[in-house]
């Protein structure tokens, strides 16, 4: 544990694991001349370095660890800023104490990089920072326990470290040059040469980049720090337990956010640069740590089977405030890549590092030089990524049915097959196209069986249609040949197997889940994927498949999402010249060989991979999260798809029927905090989302899509899509409404009084423990006038109709239990936001036993927040 701050408020006396006289940097004992800059080459990594770190951190009984006889220490643990004291008498620190401690630690690190003439540490700032940073991870590796030898572990760690990107995504150095006109501070116009790998100084005037520095030359980015190597070693030894790595990554985020704030508060440009160097170091360490953890966890999921309820292991819980915004991330996006499709990937929880450089490079290599086809007809419109209606890939009514042909077919002489209605009607249950009895004129059917190939395609790519109107014979021959080559006797596809008649259509749709689950394999068909040549099969081709899959039309449609999830046991991809490859093969090779920044795209499609059980039920929260950026061509189908993704075999067409079928089930409180429109006018369902996504495809006319509402009419332009809310307290859906524990700020309307006296804040009692029962205890008495007026602006419109208003924060609960895990803290919204996003409910019930949903609101970080005690409430 890091030594706690002293009573005098001094910084923690960090006991470094490695001394500065003989620094173990990357594990090699290097005797440093503290007066000279050590020679460094970019990404200098040897197995000798890794061996040295491993040997330093292997547990030995003779180590003086202060443990009782017979006890063995944890192999990996993080230094904890939230508690202090001996193991048998730990003292929990308050939030303010923890923040002060972290800030002091960062200020101690700042001394090592501060650009002052008397700073003798500047020449070796990276080495000394690495030694200080190393104290945040305490390792006692036990090789014998894992039955691993040194050489095997080091070889594995070396291999995976080589796959890290050479530099993290670039951050922008910003400083308001208030003193730039002061000629006496000319030194401020030049970066200290010691910050860079080169020997010459880097001045603002000497560099083309407006930031005035070369990001890739920063010495702190020249190689991963010691803790990154430790992370790789630990995961190569024991890849089944990454909890300690999660906690360590969260600690880095706290440090990163702190130095970011301190940089913004810098009074001189020289100090701002020094803080920026620290920011770059922590940013790089966080990026590399998260990538390593994601890679090993993703590999486990692929090896043992995907489990929809274990995402809390593979998604980082904390993300730094310094994360580059969307407009920066998109600068390198290839022209052919649909912006709406990319937004689906960018907003996915697995894209935690926001490093898409390798993905963009692979995609550009495959489709470079092609014009975007997002707006084929109206070249003046721009696909801005804000709504599917702004992208013409979704307007399939402009695509003629059966306009697609097999690559060997000239098209002009191709005939149409129509259904044999009698054959269709003679079969009870799901029907598939029979390979043996179908001839050159009529499609004939057989029951769907375990020897069936299900075809999942994008309707707007020209293969859509109905069996009554006809199906291109060349397409039938393609799927017949593929099915036979893969050991199947039939194939199912919506165009020849779902009739127009409403009754028959509903029957066929209700059978979709079973069709795809029980088929021998599912064939994914998308025209961009069909452009990729896999003969011969190379890693580059597999990377192209992944880069295309995550943004292709097939992946952003609601119907194909359903089909992919249900067919994930054996999903195959159709490539150029009708060659196929299993998706699992592609992901396995990429996870074991490719750049680690491609791991996040692998995780973004993990719901298409095999599960541990044949039928893995998709929770309502996850189904909604998957659909929040996916739309069907016909908006009337969205509720049907929503219910089918959740596992229903009935055609559910209304949101009310959908939620009534969920009565008795549990739902994460964090999931409900979204801009999704709510059901109106039905008692007991004011909290219930009306749809899984934000706006219908044809409703995006405003620059930011349809504005969400909160406080019954107050427009809020920021959109908050639904996320799964995993690790938030779960509530119960009852016939009367939704009941759960929340963190509640209860506000009562008062008689008309001037100013902020319009309301009365109901806080916690003095007896309520702030650690167990109240978030932000005591804050009500500390709110200034500006904060009170801000709170009034949020709730005042509701006081025209209600006597009570409450702000609700979903509480944190490990693994989504029904009760709050101490210390009490809110579960943060998983999408883009600066402040806490909270729900707003209102009531006229004197007892406060029933509340009505009003909307969501993001708290402005400029204002102080009130306190939030725990309360169990019913939203009707």
Q: Where is the domain boundary, 316, 350, 382?
A: 316
Instruction: Round to whole Å and give the CA distance between 793 and 860.
Output: 12
Is this model's pTM higher than 0.85 or not?
Answer: yes
One domain, residues 306 and 445: no
- Could you give the number of structural domains in the chain? 3
Reported confidence tier of residue 701, pLDDT bands at 50, 70, 90? very low
Does residue 223 share a domain with residue 98?
A: yes
Of the three residues 251, 286, 316, the one that is the final residue of a domain is 316
| Residue at 357 is within a domain | no
Answer yes or no: is pLDDT of 816 > 70. no
Per-residue pLDDT reduced to its tens digit, 337-351: 999 899 999 999 899
Kindly state the percentage of the chain with pLDDT values over 90. Answer: 59
- Count Cβ atoms within 10 A of the Cβ of residue 412 and give its class: 0-12 exposed, 13-18 middle, 19 or more buried: exposed
pLDDT of residue 761: 73
Q: What's the confidence (pLDDT) of residue 387?
A: 73
* Residue 40: inside a domain: no
3-state secondary structure of 346: helix
421 and 563 fall within a common domain: yes
- With respect to residue 516, please indicate whether it lies within any of the assigned structural domains: yes
**DSSP track, 727-777:** TB-EEEEETTEEEEEEEEEEEEE-SS-SGGGGEEEE---TTS-TTTTEEST
Please enumerate, as own/partner, the contacts of 48-51 that have beta carbons within 8 Å and a separation of 24 or more.
49/25, 49/229, 50/26, 50/154, 50/157, 50/158, 50/161, 50/229, 50/232, 50/233, 51/27, 51/150, 51/154
Angle at 721 between CA 720 and CA 725, to 5 degrees: 100
Q: What is the DSSP letter of 677?
A: P
Question: Which pLDDT tens digit goes with each residue over 40-81?
Answer: 344 568 899 999 999 999 988 776 555 566 667 788 888 888
Tokens in use for 752? 């008309």
Same domain? For 292 and 162 the reply is yes
> What tens digit of pLDDT does each residue of 119-144 get?
777 889 999 999 999 999 999 998 88
**For 78, which DSSP code?**
E
**472-486 mean pLDDT:** 96
Residue 174's pLDDT is: 84
Q: Which two tokens stand for residue 648?
A: 């229903």
The pLDDT value recorded for residue 3 is 42
* Domain-embedded: residue 776: yes
CB atoms within 10 A of CB 533: 14
Pairing mode, strands 471-472 and 521-525: unpaired
Q: Which of 577, 608, 639 is the last residue of a domain?
A: 608
Measured CA to CA, the distance from residue 780 to residue 763 in angstroms comes to: 7
Coil, helix or strand at residue 175: coil
Residue 817 binned pLDDT confidence (cut-offs 50, 70, 90): confident
Per-residue confidence (pLDDT) for residue 147, from 0 to 100:
86
Look at residue 719 in the predicted model and tell me its pLDDT.
86
Better-scored residue on pLDDT, 708 or 688: 688
Q: How confident is the model at residue 846 (pLDDT cuts 50, 70, 90)?
A: confident
- Please, which residues have CB within 8 angstroms of residue 417's CB and are 6 or more apart in sequence? 438, 440, 441, 442, 443, 470, 471, 472, 473, 476, 496
CA 89/CA 868 separation, integer angstroms: 29
Phi, psi of 749 (to 5 degrees): -70, 140
Minimum mean pLDDT range among 201-215, 671-685, 781-795: 201-215
Answer yes or no: is 163 within a domain.
yes
Q: Given a cut of 60, is residue 8 above it in pLDDT? A: no
Q: Is residue 475 predicted with pLDDT exceeding 50?
A: yes
Q: Are 455 and 491 in contact (CB under 8 A)?
A: yes
Q: Among candidates 369, 515, 316, 324, which has minimal Cα distance to 431?
A: 515
pLDDT digits (tens, 9 = 90+) for 579-605: 999 999 999 999 999 999 999 999 999
How many percent of the chain have pLDDT more than 70? 82
Which of 245-259, 292-306, 579-593, 625-639 reaches the highest mean pLDDT?
Answer: 579-593
Name the residue among 611, 672, 582 with its Cα closest to residue 875: 672
**DSSP track, 115-132:** --TT-TTGGGHHHHHHHH
What's the whole-number mean pLDDT along residues 376-395? 67
pLDDT tens-digit series, residues 405-459:
999 898 778 999 999 999 999 999 999 999 999 999 999 999 999 999 999 999 8
Q: Tell me the CA distances in angstroms from 752 to 755, 758, 759, 844, one per residue in order.
A: 9, 6, 9, 17
Cα 720 from Cα 838, distance rounded (Å)? 11
**Can you tell me the distance from the alpha carbon of 575 to that of 442, in angstroms, rounded to the nearest whole number?**
28
- Whether 372 is covered by a domain: the verdict is no
Q: Is the pLDDT of residue 549 over 70?
A: yes
> Span 729-755, mean pLDDT?
86
Cis peptide before 823 (omega within 30 of 0): yes
Cis peptide before 169 (omega within 30 of 0): no
End-to-end CA, the chain: 47
Q: Are 456 and 570 contained in the same domain? A: yes
Lowest pLDDT segment from 179-193, 482-496, 850-864: 179-193
Q: What b/e sequence results for 19-41 when a residue is b if at least 16 CB atoms lie within 10 Å of its CB, and e otherwise?
A: eeeebbbbbeeeebeeeebeeee
In a domain, residue 844? The reply is yes
Contact between residue 339 and residue 333 where contact means Cβ atoms under 8 Å apart = yes
Model confidence at 759, pLDDT cuts 50, 70, 90, reads low
Q: How would residue 398 be classed by pLDDT, with cut points 50, 70 and 90? A: low
Q: How confident is the model at residue 205 (pLDDT cuts 50, 70, 90)?
A: very low
Name the residue range of residue 786's domain.
730-875
> Do residues 312 and 420 both lie within one domain?
no
Cα separation, 445 vs 341, in Å, equals 36
Q: Which residues contact 753 (CB under 8 A, 6 or more apart)?
A: none
**Residue 609 near residue 584, CB atoms below 8 Å:** yes
Task: Check residue 765 and give its pLDDT.
Answer: 61
Q: How many CB atoms within 10 Å of residue 782?
A: 12
**pLDDT confidence of residue 779:** 87
Three-class SS state of 31: strand
CA distance 475 to 456: 13
Q: What is the mean pLDDT of residues 704-733?
A: 67
Q: CA–CA separation, 309 vs 568, rounded Å?
A: 16
Which are the contacts of 569, defined by CB distance < 8 A and separation ≥ 6?
517, 610, 611, 614
Burial class (CB in 10 A: 0-12, 13-18, 19+), 715: exposed
Is residue 664 one of the residues assigned to a domain? no
Rounded-to-integer distance, Cα 256 and Cα 288, Å: 14
């Amino acid at each position: 544990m890091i030594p706690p701050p002293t009573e005098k408020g001094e910084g923690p006396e960090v006991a470094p694991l490695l001394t500065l006289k003989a620094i173990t940097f990357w594990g090699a004992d290097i005797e440093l001349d503290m007066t000279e800059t050590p020679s460094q080459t970019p990404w200098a990594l040897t197995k000798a370095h890794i061996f040295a770190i491993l040997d330093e951190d292997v547990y030995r009984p003779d180590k003086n660890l202060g443990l009782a006889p017979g006890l063995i220490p944890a192999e990996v643990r993080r230094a904890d800023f939230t508690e202090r004291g001996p193991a048998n008498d730990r003292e929990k620190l308050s939030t303010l104490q923890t923040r002060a401690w972290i800030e002091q630690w960062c200020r101690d690190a700042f001394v090592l990089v501060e650009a002052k003439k008397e700073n003798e540490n500047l020449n070796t700032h990276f080495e000394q920072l690495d030694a200080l940073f190393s104290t945040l991870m305490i390792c006692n590796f036990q090789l014998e326990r894992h039955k691993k030898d040194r050489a095997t572990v080091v070889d594995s760690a070396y291999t995976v470290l080589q796959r890290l990107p050479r530099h993290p995504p670039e951050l922008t150095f910003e400083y308001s040059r208030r003193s730039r006109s002061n000629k006496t501070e000319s030194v401020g116009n030049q970066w200290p040469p010691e910050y860079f790998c080169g020997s010459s100084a880097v001045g603002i005037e000497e560099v083309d980049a407006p930031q005035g520095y070369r990001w890739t030359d920063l010495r702190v980015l020249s190689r991963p720090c010691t803790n990154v190597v430790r992370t790789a070693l630990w995961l190569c030894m024991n890849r089944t337990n990454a909890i300690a790595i999660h906690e360590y990554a969260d600690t880095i985020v706290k440090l990163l956010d702190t130095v970011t704030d301190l940089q913004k508060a810098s009074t001189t440009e020289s100090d701002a640069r020094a803080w920026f160097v620290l920011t770059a170091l922590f940013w790089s360490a966080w990026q590399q740590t998260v990538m390593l953890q994601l890679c090993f966890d993703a590999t486990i999921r692929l090896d043992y089977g995907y489990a929809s309820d274990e995402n809390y292991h593979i998604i980082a819980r904390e993300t730094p405030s310094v994360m580059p915004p969307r407009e920066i991330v998109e600068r390198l996006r290839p022209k052919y890549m649909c912006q709406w499709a990319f937004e689906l990937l960018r907003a996915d929880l697995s894209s935690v590092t926001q490093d898409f450089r390798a993905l963009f490079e692979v995609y550009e290599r495959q489709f470079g030089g092609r014009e975007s086809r997002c707006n084929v007809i109206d070249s003046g419109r721009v696909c801005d990524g804000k709504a599917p209606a702004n992208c013409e890939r979704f307007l399939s009514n402009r695509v003629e049915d059966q306009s697609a042909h097999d690559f060997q077919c000239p098209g002009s002489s191709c005939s149409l097959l129509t259904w044999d209605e009698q054959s269709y009607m003679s079969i009870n249950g799901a029907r598939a196209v029979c390979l043996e009895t179908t001839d050159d004129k009529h499609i004939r059917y057989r029951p769907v069986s375990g020897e069936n190939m299900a075809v999942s395609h994008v309707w707007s790519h020209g293969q859509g249609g109905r069996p009554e109107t006809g199906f291109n014979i060349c397409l039938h021959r393609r799927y017949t040949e593929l099915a036979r080559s893969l050991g199947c006797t039939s194939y199912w596809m919506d165009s020849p197997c779902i009739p127009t008649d409403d009754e028959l259509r509903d029957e066929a749709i209700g059978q979709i889940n079973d069709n795809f689950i029980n088929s021998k394999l599912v064939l994914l068909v998308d025209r961009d994927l069909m452009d990729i040549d896999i003969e011969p099969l190379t890693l580059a081709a597999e990377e192209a498949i992944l880069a295309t899959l995550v943004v292709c039309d097939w992946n952003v449609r609601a119907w194909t999402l359903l089909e992919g999830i249900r067919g994930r046991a054996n999903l195959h991809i159709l490539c150029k010249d009708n060659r196929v490859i299993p998706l699992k093969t592609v992901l396995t090779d990429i996870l074991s060989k490719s750049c680690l920044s491609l791991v996040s795209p692998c995780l973004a499609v993990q719901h298409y991979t095999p599960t541990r059980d044949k039928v893995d039920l998709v929770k309502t929260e996850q189904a909604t999260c998957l659909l929040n950026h996916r739309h069907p061509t016909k908006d009337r189908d969205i509720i049907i798809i929503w219910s089918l993704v959740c596992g229903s075999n009935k055609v559910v067409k209304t949101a009310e029927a959908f939620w009534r079928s969920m009565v008795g089930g549990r739902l994460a409180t964090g999931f409900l905090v979204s801009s999704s429109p709510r059901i109106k006018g039905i008692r007991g369902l004011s909290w219930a989302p009306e749809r899984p996504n934000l706006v219908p495809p044809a409703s995006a006319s405003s620059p930011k899509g349809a504005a969400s509402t909160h406080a019954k009419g107050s427009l809020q332009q920021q959109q908050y899509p639904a996320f799964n809310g995993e690790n938030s307290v779960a509530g119960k859906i009852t016939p009367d409404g939704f009941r759960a524990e929340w963190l509640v700020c209860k506000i009562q309307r008062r008689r008309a009084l001037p100013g902020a006296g319009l309301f009365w804040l109901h806080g916690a009692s003095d007896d309520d423990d702030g650690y167990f029962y109240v978030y932000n205890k005591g804050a009500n008495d500390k709110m200034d006038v500006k904060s009170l007026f801000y709170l009034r602006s949020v709730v005042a419109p509701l006081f025209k109709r209600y006597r009570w208003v409450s702000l609700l924060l979903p509480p944190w609960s490990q693994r989504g239990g029904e009760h709050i895990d101490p210390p009490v803290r809110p579960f943060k919204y998983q999408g883009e936001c600066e402040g806490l996003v909270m729900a707003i409910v209102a009531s006229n019930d004197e007892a406060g036993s029933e509340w009505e949903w009003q909307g969501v609101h993001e708290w402005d970080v400029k204002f102080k927040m009130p306190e939030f005690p725990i309360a169990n409430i019913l939203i009707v």
